[in-house]
Amino acid sequence: MNYEHPKQLQAVVLDWAGTVVDFGSFAPTQIFVEAFAEFDVQVSIDEARGPMGMGKWDHIRSLCDQPQIAERYRKAFGRAPSDDDVTAIYNRFMPLQIEKIATHSALIPGALETIGALRKDGLKIGSCSGYPKVVMDKVVALAAQNGYAADHVVATDETPNGRPWPAQALANVIALGIDDVAACVKVDDTVPGILEGRRAGMWTVALVCSGNALGLTYEGYQALAADQLANERKRIHAMFEGSRPHYLIDTINELPAVIADINCRLARGEMPQAA
């Protein structure tokens, strides 16, 4: 038996907030701000967006490790934040997140039609998120009300390690019955999500404008002047550079053209690990 590389893609593994729902990825960021505020520690929206894509406990730990935030915590409590303190913030974050997730549950304009087109081309739709299952269940239910259901969903606490580890992406490969990781595309709006896909051996597509990196509503994105948008794209492309995405596009609606290009590359014998 000899190895034969895949000739075309079999599955797309999609992130949720900032990719398929919640243009600008506002649901998690605002709740981080509110959760820290309940401990009398100020965290800005921009600071909260920094580690986006990680599991939420790890996200809070990363925020607490930032010197300026650790100093604010020290002023409030007389000590640097410990893991127990992180857990306390996380335990306040969770009910706030569950309570307010519906506020930012709208599908990204055009996403439903785009995903439908991918399915017509024979692609399976996997998904994963930095949300834990208790939040993900609500996100999935709200998306279903709007017409979207992935073929498989993996929450961050359903695998031993969250992003940037590859476990969630690989759990989709197993559940969807994909025979080669090179036949998969990981689509995400965060650096940890792209690293997840890279480490899983998949093709990777970074979303520049619909998610955390730009951090605007759909209306705000549309209102940007051409030169402003060009500058933002340049900034965000630089932000993603170290994670080495194979493609960078504005929103999921540009994904079908990327899928077609990857299929051509696979047909030529190219593999994501070497690209």
Residues tagged active-site = 15, 56
**Bridge partners (DSSP) listed for residue 207:** 249
Q: What angle do CA 231, 235, 240 make, to 5 degrees?
A: 145
For residue 108, the 8-state DSSP code is P
Tell me which DSSP letter residue 21 carries.
B
Q: What CA–CA distances, in Å, run from 211 to 51, 94, 182, 221?
A: 13, 21, 25, 10
Length of the chain measured in residues? 275
Q: Is 145 helix (H, G, I), strand (E, B) or coil?
A: helix
Distance CA 243, CA 221 (A): 24
Backbone angles phi, psi at 249, to 5 degrees: -135, 165
